[in-house]
């Protein structure tokens, strides 16, 4: 009898715990919520902690310095995805409803897989899906993908900008003829995604393109680099990921290929990619949509208001101002700007996802506005619209000096006019498969 009593008390305790968990809904405050599908453990933790650290710190900074946007403070909560798709979906479903009555503004999974899996859900739930610098290329066409935003740079623009930079270095697009370019790519859908565009550009400009695959994870590249040495290319584009990047740099040095002729793409451009290669990385060039470093007013303000106040999100304070961290800050700036733009139209209150989408589509960042934000040079000028969900398409180039990245070029623009028909064609095919009627962007205000 005693045992039974004890059992039932335990049961009761568990049950009441459950009730407590599911009834923790305080009344709504004047707050706007960001659901964060973050990843702080697992193989990609370096990217996740940096990016979400920067994002959270920027939100904290806006709250601390200006008391939010027009009095609407930001709130957020995290859900760990480990970069795993189904965990990301679970997190999306868990967090999309908002927090304590504060409506969700947008989701920022920073994972291609999760973005793909939540694309249709986002559209159905009317919640913007932000895939800064990555994501589905054809979601640039906002008439078919109203809620997906590959802000700043989609994968096609990325390679186009690299080719344009090579042309600039060689003295013009017509000088590309006869040049030899090797692309060393990660053996995954991500790695192969841009191959058709590279082939198209090779045909158009007459350079000789060799595509070489490195099987995942890429910790053995001897044969590929021997091939490269045999081909004697003018440039190597490194489309790597994770451990593949430092190994490529080390093997390049071993086989005697000059490091300053290797251009890393958007996922080969962080401190974590170059530093492990040690001296072999010196001279390595990569693209970036935002410089690293702390010399921007907005970063110094974050330092003053958040980090010095002991509220910084980074565990390792030395990572302040690194590529991933700054990407988080840039992402924060763009999200907050969208909320600000939308508030100007819909009123100074917490907004729904649909209203925030309008904000994203009407982001206008020119040099003047960027200066006000303290982000001139950190964020590229950006103008989004109903039809164009990318906006920028420009990158800067940076070079590793053995301990940090130095920016070595101004903004280099992708040839977006050339890419647009390909994107539209792909979007149209998607719309047909899914039975979507594209929006008429002429009617959108």
Partner 1 sequence: MLYRESGQFVTSYRADQRVFRLWQERWGLALLLAVAFVMVPFIANDYWFSAILIPFLVLSLAGLGLNLLTGYAGQLSLGSAAFMAVGAFAAYNFHLRIEGMPFLLSFVFGGLAAAGVGVIFGLPSLRIKGFYLLVSTLAAQFFVQWVLTNFSWFSNNSSSGVITAPQLIIAGHDFSTPLGRYLLTLGIVAALTVLALSIVRSALGRNWMAVRDMDTAAAVIGISIARTKLVAFAVSSFFLGIAGSLWAFTYLGTVEPHGFDLTRSFQILFIIIIGGLGSVLGNFLGAAFIVLLPILLSNISNNLLAGAIDPGQLENIQKIIFGALIIFFLIKEPDGLARIWQSLKRRARVWPLRF
- In the complex, the residues that contact partner 1 under the rule CB under 8 A are 17, 21, 24, 38, 40-41, 45, 49, 77-80, 82, 85-86, 89-90, 92-94, 97, 112-113, 116-117, 119-121, 136-137, 187-190, 192-194, 196, 315, 426, 430, 433-435
Per the DSSP assignment, residues forming a β-bridge with 432 are none
Q: Which is nearer to partner 1, 199 or 366 (CB)?
A: 199
Q: How far apart are CA 431 and CA 144, in angstroms?
A: 6
| Contact predicate 168/205, CB 8 Å | no
Q: Which is nearer to partner 1, 74 or 430 (CB)?
A: 430
**Least distance (Å) from partner 1 to the CB of residue 308?**
20
Q: How far apart are CA 49 and CA 412, in angstroms?
A: 28
Q: Which is nearer to partner 1, 149 or 284 (CB)?
A: 149
Q: Which residue has the tokens 């290797």?
A: 262
CB-neighbour burial class of residue 322 (10 A; exposed 0-12, middle 13-18, buried 19+): buried
**Least distance (Å) from partner 1 to the CB of residue 116?**
5
Query: How many Cβ atoms sit within 10 Å of the Cβ of residue 406?
Result: 12
Q: Structure tokens of 331?
A: 């992402």
**Least distance (Å) from partner 1 to the CB of residue 78?**
5
| Contact predicate 332/313, CB 8 Å | no
**Least distance (Å) from partner 1 to the CB of residue 36?**
9
Q: How far apart are CA 390 and CA 78, in angstroms?
A: 26
**Least distance (Å) from partner 1 to the CB of residue 94?**
6
**Least distance (Å) from partner 1 to the CB of residue 385?**
24
**Least distance (Å) from partner 1 to the CB of residue 114?**
10
| Contact predicate 114/105, CB 8 Å | no
**Least distance (Å) from partner 1 to the CB of residue 397?**
25
Q: Which is nearer to partner 1, 87 or 396 (CB)?
A: 87
Q: How would you classify residue 100: left for phi > 0, otherwise alpha for psi between -120 and 50, otherwise beta?
A: left
Q: Which is nearer to partner 1, 75 or 152 (CB)?
A: 75
Q: Which is nearer to partner 1, 112 or 184 (CB)?
A: 112
Q: How far apart are CA 47 and CA 329, in angstroms?
A: 13
Q: Which is nearer to partner 1, 311 or 364 (CB)?
A: 311
Q: Which is nearer to partner 1, 172 or 435 (CB)?
A: 435
Q: How would you classify residue 150: left for phi > 0, otherwise alpha for psi between -120 and 50, otherwise beta?
A: beta
Query: How many Cβ atoms sit within 10 Å of the Cβ of residue 403?
Result: 10
């Amino acid at each position: 009898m005693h045992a039974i009593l004890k059992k039932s008390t335990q049961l009761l305790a568990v049950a009441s715990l459950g009730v407590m968990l599911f009834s923790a809904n305080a009344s709504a405050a004047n707050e706007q919520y960001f659901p964060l599908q973050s990843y702080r453990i697992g193989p990609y933790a370096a990217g996740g902690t940096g990016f979400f650290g920067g994002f959270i710190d920027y939100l904290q900074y806006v709250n601390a310095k200006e008391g939010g946007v027009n009095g609407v403070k930001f709130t957020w909560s995290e859900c760990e995805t480990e970069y795993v798709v189904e965990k990301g979906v679970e997190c999306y479903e868990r967090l999309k409803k908002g927090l304590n009555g504060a409506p969700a503004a947008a989701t920022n999974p920073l994972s291609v897989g999760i973005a793909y899996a939540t694309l249709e859900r986002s559209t159905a739930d009317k919640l913007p899906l932000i895939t800064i610098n990555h994501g589905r290329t054809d979601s640039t066409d906002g008439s078919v993908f109203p809620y997906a935003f590959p802000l700043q740079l989609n994968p096609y623009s990325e390679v186009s900008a690299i080719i344009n930079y090579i042309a600039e270095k060689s003295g013009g697009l017509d000088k590309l003829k006869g040049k030899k370019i090797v692309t060393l790519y990660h053996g995954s859908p991500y790695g192969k995604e841009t191959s058709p565009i590279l082939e198209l550009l090779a045909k158009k400009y007459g350079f000789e393109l060799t595509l070489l695959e490195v099987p995942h994870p890429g910790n053995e590249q001897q044969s590929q680099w021997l091939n490269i040495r045999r081909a004697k290319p003018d440039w190597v584009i490194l489309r790597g990921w994770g451990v593949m990047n430092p190994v490529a740099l080390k093997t390049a040095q071993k086989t005697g290929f000059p490091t300053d002729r290797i251009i890393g793409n958007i996922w080969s451009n962080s401190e974590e990619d170059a530093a492990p290669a040690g001296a072999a990385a010196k001279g390595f060039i990569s693209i970036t949509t935002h410089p690293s470093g702390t010399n921007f007013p907005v970063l110094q303000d974050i330092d003053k208001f958040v980090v010095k106040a002991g509220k910084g999100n980074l565990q390792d304070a030395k990572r302040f101002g690194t590529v991933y961290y700054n990407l988080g800050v840039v992402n924060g700036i763009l999200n907050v700007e969208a909320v600000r733009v939308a508030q100007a139209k819909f009123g100074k209150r917490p907004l729904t996802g649909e209203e925030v989408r309008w904000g994203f589509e009407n982001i206008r960042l020119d040099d003047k506005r960027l200066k006000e934000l303290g982000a001139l040079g950190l964020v590229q000028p950006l103008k989004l619209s109903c039809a164009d969900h990318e906006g920028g398409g420009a990158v800067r180039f940076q070079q590793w000096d053995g301990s940090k990245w130095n920016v070595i070029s101004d903004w280099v623009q992708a040839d977006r006019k050339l890419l647009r028909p390909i994107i539209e064609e792909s979007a149209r095919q998607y719309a047909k498969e899914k039975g979507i009627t594209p929006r008429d962007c002429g009617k959108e205000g």
